[in-house]
Structure 1
Amino acid sequence: MTRFSVDELFKNHADGLALTWLAGQKGNHRTILLETDQKLANVGYFNLIHPHQIQIIGPFELDYLKTLTKKVYQDYLKQLFENSNLVCVIVVDTPVVPEYLLNTADNYQISLFTSLLSGENVINYLHTTLARLLTQHVTLHGVFMDVLGMGVLIMGDSGTGKSELALELVSRGHRLVADDAPEFSKIAPQTLVGVCPLGTNAFLEVRGLGILNVQALFGDSAIKKDKYLRLIVQLEHMTSERLQVIDRLQGDYHIRRILGVDIPEICLPVAPGRNLAVLLECAVRNHSLKMQGYNAADEFCELQRQAIMHNRTDE
């Protein structure tokens, strides 16, 4: 179960929802409870039979309340605000809120917000936000890049040159998503999205240079907010014995399982004179071809087989 307070809702999403806090400020401690089996039934239009934790009231609902007698109107609001499931109320798509509604929110200490957005936009925004809170997260050590349109996580032990490689890739026109500790979330059965959790995706630490702002150095196109993870590149200092066991045809490919999703991984040996940026770009292009069903090693073997068969026929 995940908890999400009204105070957090306002602090983190007031701009995105165009919220104004009009009444019930003492209800800021109330908590939205999120469970994986709720299927996002936390938000919805004014409903007394199946009450939502966040009740949305729009112009249509306000017009309906105006048609009621004073006693029925007051009974409706009493049922709304006395429901233990209610956390807050958002009045949408109208700048005018009835005074009695504001007073009732204050009396019951239930936060009441207004938003200039439509009810549909507010509900969609909240559904997306709550869905993200329910997703599985994991933080991995590495540099997450957008290389040729593909999300690539560069991993490796300290000193293998991850940040230097990322800097060279940025200088070659690729984009930085997150340095050091990208956070990945499972947003679909076979899809992970990576972000920089602290919003510092413009910064890259390079030994000897310190902290660099790649956005200031290379422009806005040098960074990206998020990206799907499609490939892991592991940098490794290898012994001669380790190099000998690498498959000369297929390379050093593996599968790494992250949050139940299988992510292809390739190991790149780190050694003096090797251009890792070119190798990584080539690895991305080659992986893209494999995703389309083409394997260079398979074609090479088939051509070799055909040549051998042809030589035998000539004999």
Structure 2
Amino acid sequence: MVEPVTVKELVKANPTLKVIEGENFLDQRVISVSDISRPGLELTGYFDFYPKERIQLLGRTEISYSKNLNHEARQKVFKRMATPETPCFVIARDLSVPQELIEACNQAKIPVLQSKLATTRLSSLLTDYLDEKLAPRKSMHGVLVEIYGMGVMIIGNSGVGKSETALDLIKRGHRLIADDRVDVFQKDEKTVVGEAPKILKHLMEIRGIGIIDVMNLFGAGSVRDQSEIQLIIKLENWNPDSNYERLGLNENKKELVGVSVPQITIPVKVGRNIAIIIEVAAMNFRAKRMGYDASKKFKENLAELISDNSKEEK
């Protein structure tokens, strides 16, 4: 279930927006879709497909056209646009707001906002914000840390040592995003983002100690609010019968909210420093993405060795 965004939250998150009218209505109006409407046809009187549930954004074109209408026509069209479902009106470029629009919005209890940004830029900014806030979220069991600027999600059975490993990584200079529960959502077709639930933000649970505040203990540089999830590390107790990856030739993937994310399985065993192994795994993953693959280098060396031996035998 996706929680709608109030107009008050929209204004608070976007400092470029200022309230012209309807300060008392900000909490009452909610936004449930990320699409933005540019009501050009509506100004001409065509309302057959009016997207009344969207933010109504008026730029230079819309305001200029409305000025060519007479007073009665502006009253009529703005009154029809100000529906009970309309969250707010936004005027771009600091353009003057038609008095008829203010009157219609006051009557319908709809906030009127204004921004100095150009219309296209403002539309993109609001859409990006709403896409993120209104994206369906899935809560997952795991720990999300940022290692060398890359989001790494650590998963595994309860008690395998995820939080303790993350704590070791934080001590090594990396950053915590979420511990125990990670809220993940799809930012676009290729990007999945993770963040902590509000109640767990910057907090960790360490068995034997309890809840600790990472930012308070390690400083503001040890935490981050959210991060793209680029790699998944699965921790599992060492099983001698399991066939673990030895060369790194195969890349497994796990799907998170519709996005495939590379996954590496690391066996946990007494004497293995899991934090350092994860750190190296993250560096090796980045090296692969930059074009250097140690496993391919090994295959090339092996092929060269076989070729040299064949020549010697001849």
Report how far residue 225 of structure 1 moved: 2.3
Deviations 1:77-113 (A, max 9, x none): 33433x6774432355659867664443333x24123
SS at match of 2:152: strand
- TM-score (norm. length: structure 1): 0.79
Specify the alignment match of 1:207 in structure 2: 207
CA RMSD of aligned residues (A): 3.5
C-alpha distance in 1 between matches for 2:12 and 2:30 = 20
Match of 2:7 among 4, 7, 10: 10
Between 1:12-21 and 1:182-191, the stretch displaced more is: 12-21
Determine the structure 1 residue equivalent to 2:297. 299
Structure 1 residue runs of 5 or longer lacking an equivalent are: 35-39
Per-residue CA distance 1:177-224 (angstroms, 9 max, x = gap): 111222222222222122224274322221222222222222222112
1 CA distance for matches of 2:25 and 2:285?
A: 55
What percent of counterpart residues are identical? 29
Change (3 A) 1:3 1:176: closer
Counterpart position of 2:132? 132
Would the alpha carbon gap of residues 104 and 186 (structure 1) be closer, same or farther in structure 2, given more than 3 Å must change?
closer
Task: Report the 3-state secondary structure (helix = DSSP H, G, I; strand = E; otherwise coil) of the residue aligned with 1:158.
Answer: coil
Count matched residues: 303
Against the structure 1 CA distance between its residues 169 and 74, is the aligned structure 2 distance closer, same or farther, given a 3 Å change threshold?
Answer: same
Give the distance between the partners of 1:213 and 1:24, measured in 2 at CA: 36
CA distance in 1, matches of 2:99, 2:260: 56
Instruction: Give the match for residue 54 of structure 1.
Output: 55
- 1:154 corresponds in structure 2 to 154
Q: Indicate how the Cα distance of structure 1 residues 70 and 273 shifts in structure 2: closer, same or farther if over 3 A, else same.
A: same
Amino acid at match of 2:11: A
Who is 2:287 aligned against?
A: 289
Q: Which amino acid counterpart does residue 272 of structure 1 have in structure 2? A: V
Please, which moves more after superposition, 50-59 or 195-204?
A: 50-59
**Corresponding residue of 2:275:** 277
Distance of 1:122 and 1:282 partners within structure 2: 42
Change (3 A) 1:306 1:28: closer
Distance 1:289 1:24 in 2: 52
Deviates more, 1:231-240 or 1:115-124: 115-124
Summarize deviations over 1:256-296 as a string: whole Å, max 9, x none. Answer: 12233221111111111111111111111222222234332
**One-letter amino acid of the counterpart of residue 283, structure 2:** R
Q: Which residue of 2 aligns with 1:258?
A: 256
TM-score, normalised via structure 2 length: 0.79
CA distance in 2, matches of 1:165, 1:15: 36
* Structure 2 runs not aligned, ≥5 long: none
* Partner Cα separation in structure 1 for residue 306 and residue 66 of structure 2: 86
Matched to 1:23, the amino acid is: G
Q: Which residue pairs with 2:36 in the alignment?
A: 42
CA gap of 1:194–1:287, structure 2 versus 1, over 3 A, is same
Aligned to 2:219: 219
Deviation at 1:150, TM superposition (A): 1.5
Amino acid at match of 1:128: D
State the alpha-carbon separation in 2 of the partners of residues 253 and 60 from structure 1: 52
The one-letter amino acid of 2:112's match is F
Structure 1 counterpart of 2:76: 75
Report Cα offsets for 1:97-152 as digits up to 9, x if no partner.
67664443333x24123345436364333212332355443222111111122211
Change (3 A) 1:272 1:70: same
1:301 and 1:88, CA in 2 relative to 1: closer, same or farther beyond 3 A? closer
Q: 1:288 is aligned with what amino acid? A: R
Aligned-partner SS, 2:304:
helix
For residues 41 and 312 of structure 1, the distance between their equivalents in structure 2, rounded to whole angstroms, comes to 65
> Match for residue 90 of structure 2?
90
Give how far 1:246 is off: 2.1
Alpha-carbon distance, 1:158 to partner: 1.0
Distance 2:132 2:60 in 1: 29
SS of the residue corresponding to residue 248 of structure 2 reads coil
Secondary structure of 2:192's counterpart equals strand
